Structure 1
Amino acid sequence: MSSTISITAPAPRAALVTGGSRGIGAAVALRLAEAGVDVAITYVRDEEAARAVVAKIEGTGRRGVALRVDAADARAAGRAVHEAADVLGRLDVLVNNAGIGVLGPIAELPDAEVERVLSVNVRAVLLACRAAADRLADGGRIVSVGSALSRYVGGPGSTLYGMSKSALVGLTKPLARELGPRGITVNLVQPGPVDTDLNPAGGPLAEGQRAATALGRFGTAEEVASLVAYLASAEAGFITGTEIVVDGGHAA
């Protein structure tokens, strides 16, 4: 008499990458998909770019979802986490990548710009983490993308942006302690000059940034994405509450 044993494959892991329609976020989303993760991304305006990223995700055989979310909206950041978890059926990884940079002398910064930078770079990250604490599976991962400007003196005009990214250090460390008993890790990646639409390697401010690195070049979005993907993996389960710099030796 024979019997049949049925083995159910575990559900794929699922991730939300905020600001995933371009640059570092798009590279992270694709790298996670290549590692076998279903991925939801958020975007604000460029629906065509978001659809292109989803197509690349689905080209790996994984599920891709694009959610239109304005991180400056206090109600939207947390809602996006819950929506991603509902659509994908679970949530294992949150990558807080969405961010904006406004440069200028502090005395000349308009109130509206100050409000938007702090809303997107600080408040939205906190609210996404709050929602993720409710929805993440045990053993989950939170990775935030900061800036190496929070580790060394930035140039004149970078006060607002540097301050907003520095706040992520204060979020990461205590949150790692709070979520550690559930096996959830919380880490912060601090990129240096990376060639993106927002900071192109051929832009007017590029030469000084390039010269300040030990490697004499800009990094790529894919190089940052590889680090984020590692921190989101099972292999990085003993790394938490820390900052990891990927800046080409800018702060060396």
Structure 2
Amino acid sequence: MDGKQAELAVVVGATGDFGQAIVGRLLQAGLGVVAVARSAGSLDALCSEFAGVGAGVRACVADIGDDSAIAALTASVDRPVRAVVHGPGVAVAGGILNAPTAALVDAVNIKVGGLLRLVRAVDERLVAGSRLIAIGGHYGFEPTAYAASAGIANAALVNAVRQLSLAYGERGITAHLIAPGPADTARLHRVAADRAAMRGVTVDTVLDDMRAESSIRAFTTPAQVAWAVSTLLAPEADAMTGATLMLDSGRRRGLP
């Protein structure tokens, strides 16, 4: 890198299926990555997987659901931050009539509170052209009978991203939301197994039903989400600030 240290990307939820794919794409883009998760063991495994790749990965053990994460994140960044990617998952927790209220509050705290903690922690390292990227989900636009906490938290995230786009716009910093549909991950297969047990059908039946909700009969993949993150690094993506990039494989049918 001509003796210069690479700019950083900070990825929350780095050890999940989405996070691992995103880390790989950001390394390919020439950024150093600060990988954030609660488990030191999973972070060690991630760092080992990407050892020697690109500008490298450093681990930051932090619980983004708690204000203590701010100090840990601040201490982990020592040069300009080109991008932050906030992608922690939340519990499905059931429908609106039976989901515990604590689960709903926790989901909003992780999705929205976590994003704000992340941004505040790196604020002094952001530069013109930096990207604030949140991974939400199409349940914030299309409510479902079994994922009230995810729907409410992701809907709140839409507004938070728009507010960040206004607050940071004068500094040339943009904010973006990526909203995948159900993704082909280990978590989705666990959800499908739970739904299959409740319905008394096979897991494959549930997965087929979920695929049928998509106009292309497909799940979103972690690689597609990582592609979207890397695409937002382009200068042309400035015009997308405050907007949602839908990666739902054609599940959303209504108008905005």
TM-score scaled to structure 1, two decimals?
0.86
- In the alignment, is residue 93 of structure 1 matched against residue 94 of structure 2? no
Q: Which runs of 5+ in 1 are unaligned?
A: 1-6
For 2:19, which of 25, 33, 37 is the aligned residue? Answer: 25
Q: Which runs of 5+ in 2 are unaligned?
A: 194-205
Shift of 1:107: 4.1
In the TM superposition, 1:162-177 aligns within 5 A as 162-177=151-166
For 2:104, which of 108, 114, 124 is the aligned residue? Answer: 114
Change (3 A) 1:17 1:109: same
Deviations 1:38-67 (A, max 9, x none): 00111123x343223223333323221111
Shift of 1:159: 2.0
Which residue type is aligned with residue 109 of structure 1? A
In the TM superposition, 1:212-251 aligns within 5 A as 212-251=213-252
C-alpha separation in 2, matches of 1:123 and 1:214: 33
Change (3 A) 1:158 1:61: closer
- In the alignment, is residue 183 of structure 1 matched against residue 184 of structure 2? no
- Look up the match of 1:128: 118
C-alpha separation in 2, matches of 1:247 and 1:105: 21
Which residue type is aligned with residue 113 of structure 1? A
Structure 2 contact 216–250 (Cα < 8 Å) conserved: yes
Shift of 1:9: 5.1
Cα RMSD, aligned residues only: 2.2
Which residue type is aligned with residue 144 of structure 1? A
Change (3 A) 1:115 1:201: closer
Shift of 1:123: 1.1
C-alpha separation in 2, matches of 1:29 and 1:83: 20
Which residue type is aligned with residue 163 of structure 2? P
In the TM superposition, 1:15-54 aligns within 5 A as 15-45=9-39, 47-54=40-47
C-alpha separation in 2, matches of 1:201 and 1:207: 15
Which residue type is aligned with residue 103 of structure 1? A
- Look up the match of 1:3: none
C-alpha separation in 1, matches of 2:228 and 2:61: 26
- In the alignment, is residue 148 of structure 1 matched against residue 138 of structure 2? yes
Deviations 1:9-48 (A, max 9, x none): 5431211000101210111111100111100111123x34
